[in-house]
Amino acid sequence: MKAQGPLRGIRVLEFTGMGPAPFCAMLLSDMGAEVLRVDRKGGMDCDTFCVESRGRRSVALDLKKPEGCEAALRLISRADVLLEGFRPGVMERLGLGPEIALAVNPALIYGRMTGWGQSGPLAQSAGHDINYIALAGALHAIGTAERPAIPLNLVGDFGGGALYLAMGVLAALLHVRAGGGGQVVDCAMVDGVASLLGMIYGHLARAHTSPLSEDSAVNSGTWQDKRASNVIDGGAHFYNTYECADGRQIAIASIEPAFYAELIRLLELPASLFDEQMDRDSWPALQAHLTELFLSRTRQDWCELLEGTDVCFAPVLSLEEAPMHPHNLFRETFIERDGFIQPAPAPRFSETPGAIQGPPPRCGADNREALGDWGFSDVEIAVLETCQAL
């Protein structure tokens, strides 16, 4: 298919990796960028269900051979963006580090994705999502009073990692389009997660300088540095999840006074008990009251009463249920592609809508076609094959 989306015409060279770097490449591809993935020769194939690898082509190079490294540099010279997610120093040892890459392509955006960052005491240490969000303070703040909860790998890998890398790459591209030079984007998940916590750190600072105020909902004057004791971390009765009679769950988020009043009205709650919304001392008892109430009816019963109101309500849907919800169906938030349901490209553009550009590629499946499109002659491709660099 012909590429479509606001990034059509942008060439991205992705060096194969795991987690957030491929997800970032998927985001750019969904917005129309041409993404070419450099796989390790003899590497494993992605199957059809590797959603984060959709929408690009693959060439397989042996980067340990001089001919393979030279071919990679040729590709770098024609790219707008390079994405890599190795430990610091790996690309340099391959002869493909930023200094060499920017020498052959001064306008290149060199995107580097790591957990700890390119420098620092932990830069060379192994890690995974929960390690990075733990160091930034996020993991401590999420969960029950007894223990932290693991929020999949949404907060570190994809929120603090891939999305920040995509934003950094696009900002650097704007700089180039304005006449500036290329540059390195050092995206560390610890940095991104810390940035995501900006509002929370602001509330925590307020706790040390301001007395408790009952005039504001979210900004109630303090943030207690312990789980399940604040408005938006499960401490409040009006911002929580509750089990229903059928064992399913619902989510209530009636923070603002008007929405809280609507919750009281629709649930016919006793005003004498629920009128002091921000009295933290009363939250456990009120949460127990709502727990008992919501257990009295099924999730569907509560949906019929509360969904679409200003209570700020939603059913807690499973991964299989979510694509079938009427709202998601109407907006085509999920689409069927390659025989299964997967998330549609996001966000949406009125004039240049994005699209899934294709399925995940097999390792090296596009060697000849992709290299030809990126400026290699048939003779040059044949030489790479002969010396087994391709």
Cβ contacts of 265 within 8 Å, gap of 6 or more? none
Q: Is 128 assigned a catalytic role?
A: yes
Pairing verdict, β 334-337 and 340-343: antiparallel
Cα 230 versus chain centre, distance: 25
**Residue 68 corresponds to which tokens in the numbers above?**
């393979």
d(CA 317, CA 22): 27
In sequence order, what DSSP letters do the residues of 48-81 get, joined into one string? TT-GGG-S-EEEEE-TTSHHHHHHHHHHHHT-SE
Residue type, 61: L
CB-based contact 354:10 (threshold 8 Å): no
How far, in Å, CA of 381 to CA of 51, rounded? Answer: 30
Strands 239-243 and 249-253, by their bridges, are antiparallel
Asked whether the beta carbons of 58 and 362 are under 8 A apart, the reply is yes
C-beta separation of 172 from 185 below 8 A:
yes
Decide if 157 is catalytic.
Answer: yes
What is the rounded CA–CA span in Å between residue 381 and residue 378?
5
Alpha-carbon span 255 to 236, nearest angstrom: 9
Candidate list 129, 157, 233, 366, residue with the active-site label: 157
Quote the CA–CA distance of 139 and 325 in Å, as a whole number: 30
User: What are the C-alpha distances in Å from 1 to residues 7, 119, 284?
Assistant: 15, 41, 56
Task: Evaluate the omega torsion of the peptide bond into residue 353 and state whether it is cis, within 30 degrees of 0.
Answer: no
Backbone angles phi, psi at 221, to 5 degrees: 105, -30
Selected catalytic residue, list 45, 128, 289, 325? 128
Q: What token pair was written down for 119?
A: 């420098």
Q: Which residue has the tokens 């007395």?
A: 211
Contact indicator for 185, 113 with CB cutoff of 8 Å: no
By annotation, the residues acting in catalysis are 128, 157
